Amino acid sequence: MEEFIYFFSFKDPNIVLVVAGISLLSISAAMVGTFTFLDKKALVGDAISHAVLPGVCMAFMFAGNKNPYWIVLGAFTTGAISTYCISYISTTTKLKEDTVIAAVLSIFFGVGILLLTQLQQTGNAALSGLDHFLFGNAIAIVWEDLIVYGFIASFVIIILLVFYKEFKLIIFNAHFAESVGMPVRILRFVFNSLLVLAVVTGIQAIGVVLMAALLITPAAAARFWTNKLHVMLLLAVTFALFSGVAGAYISYVIPKMPTGPWVVMVISFLAFISFFFAKKKGMVSRWYSQRKYQKKIHMDHILKTLFLHWEKKQQGMTQGELINQFQGKASTTRQYINHLINKDHLSATEHYITLTPSGFTEAKRIVRLHRLWEVYLSKYLNLAPDHVHDMAEKMEHLLTPDLEAQLEASLDYPATDPHQSTIPRDHDV
């Protein structure tokens, strides 16, 4: 607890550097990653994050130390070359893009590992900590690193905000952007450059191996919560910020633990929560919605069965007779009958189950919708009367009252369905 309070009190200048640096890189990575994710170029970001490693090693060979200016230049160079290779090979050969990305990623990363191994065998004391570029070490950020990486991250953020509308358009409708005279090729070049720069900003704090996770996972997690780009950007930035600072804190508490894996663990946990519990799109929410919809369908069918029984001038049905209408669903049917009784849609006497006035109104609406859909399918799709029942059975649950009125009006208020069954009206009793 004391370490937590000390870390977030920001009394230590080094901690301020770490939090500021990882916050800026998290924001830039999440913003670029959101556009990359929506453009279905997630694998390109993964390839670039691995392809910067040989540039880092060559920069060290040239400079003789971990000078951040040379490191950034080297990383950007090989990252840009990898992007160009992916684009050029994909457009000039018959190879699929994912195949090209996998090949480029493997080759560049393999060369980087060879160079890193060679450098480690030289015994150069200045190499201490060079392996941190693999998995990241945010705690090792110094003032000079913050200036370089912070400036790049800020530059990426500003350019993304300035060209927000343009990037949005080329991602969602590139053909329209070209038709209105927008320089799509130039904008894509600018965006690809920003993607490389966003990766470069995180090579020290997060590491080249795991930087792709900070690019794509926040956007993937945010996508479960919204369909709006600006909201998705805000959520992705929030997730990335939280995971970045949390990963840095864990590295601070456990110094021998690299930052990158913990950042990935935290953002993966957030993605897990989003995947299962996000409203509407989460697996649990979708399961609940499906169960709720299935429950509604079953109860509608119970009401409809009793209404059809009433149309035959017969008394109510016994519970056994009603349950037998739904073979294999005895327990759920019994449960939903009790639920409809509690909702005052059904009444149960010693011998019969009958519709209450409110239940009768709802059952009549369901039957009316079913028969209207049968008329629609027969009239506009030219389906035979014996082919419309099953389709109408599925569609009768989907309309709101307004759409129901429009459907009925478009059919000119028919009196009967294709089977010559009367379509009930609101005034029918």
Kindly report, residue by residue over 301-320, the tens digit of the pLDDT.
889 888 888 888 776 788 88
The confidence band for 5, taking pLDDT boundaries of 50, 70 and 90, is low
Mean pLDDT over 26-48 rounds to 89
**Count of alpha carbons within 13 angstroms of residue 186, beta-carbon side:** 7
Tell me, what amino acid is at 310?
W
Radius of gyration, CA atoms only, the chain: 31
DSSP-assigned beta bridge partners for residue 346: 355
Among 310, 305, 299, residue whose Cα is nearest residue 322: 305
Mean pLDDT over 102-123 rounds to 83
Query: Residue 17: phi, psi to the nearest 5?
Result: -60, -45
Parse the chain into domains and list their residue ranges: 14-212, 285-355, 359-410
Q: Which two tokens stand for residue 60?
A: 């060290």
pLDDT digits (tens, 9 = 90+) for 197-208: 888 888 777 777
Whole-number Å distance between alpha carbons of 233 and 237: 6
pLDDT for position 125: 53
Whole-number Å distance between alpha carbons of 193 and 210: 19
Is pLDDT of 128 > 60? Answer: no
Fold adopted by 359-410: Diphtheria Toxin Repressor; domain 2 (1.10.60)
pLDDT for position 255: 66
Listed in sequence order, the residues at least 6 apart from 105 whose beta carbon sits closer than 8 Å to its beta carbon are 46, 47, 50, 51, 82
Is pLDDT of 426 > 70? Answer: no
| Tokens 């349950």, located at residue | 323
**Count of alpha carbons within 13 angstroms of residue 289, beta-carbon side:** 10
The H helix count followed by the E strand count for the chain is 19, 2
Is pLDDT of 143 > 80? Answer: no
pLDDT digits (tens, 9 = 90+) for 320-370: 888 888 888 888 888 998 899 899 999 888 778 888 989 888 888 888 888
Is pLDDT of 272 > 70? Answer: yes
Residue 183's CB: how many other CB atoms inside 10 A? Answer: 13
Collapsing DSSP states into helix, strand and coil, what is residue 390? helix
Whole-number Å distance between alpha carbons of 171 and 81: 22
Question: Positive or negative, the Cα torsion across 137, 143, 146, 149?
Answer: negative
The confidence band for 9, taking pLDDT boundaries of 50, 70 and 90, is low
Whole-number Å distance between alpha carbons of 152 and 145: 11
Whole-number Å distance between alpha carbons of 411 and 418: 13
Answer whether CATH 3.10.20.30 is correct for domain 14-212: no
Q: How far, rounded to the nearest angstrom, does the alpha carbon of residue 134 sit from its chain's CA centroid? A: 28
Whole-number Å distance between alpha carbons of 136 and 258: 6
What mean pLDDT value characterizes the chain?
83
Mean pLDDT over 207-216 rounds to 81
Tell me, what amino acid is at 19?
V
Collapsing DSSP states into helix, strand and coil, what is residue 317? strand
Q: Which CATH class is domain 285-355?
A: mainly alpha
Higher pLDDT, 349 or 276: 276
pLDDT for position 407: 80
The confidence band for 139, taking pLDDT boundaries of 50, 70 and 90, is low
Whole-number Å distance between alpha carbons of 357 and 267: 54
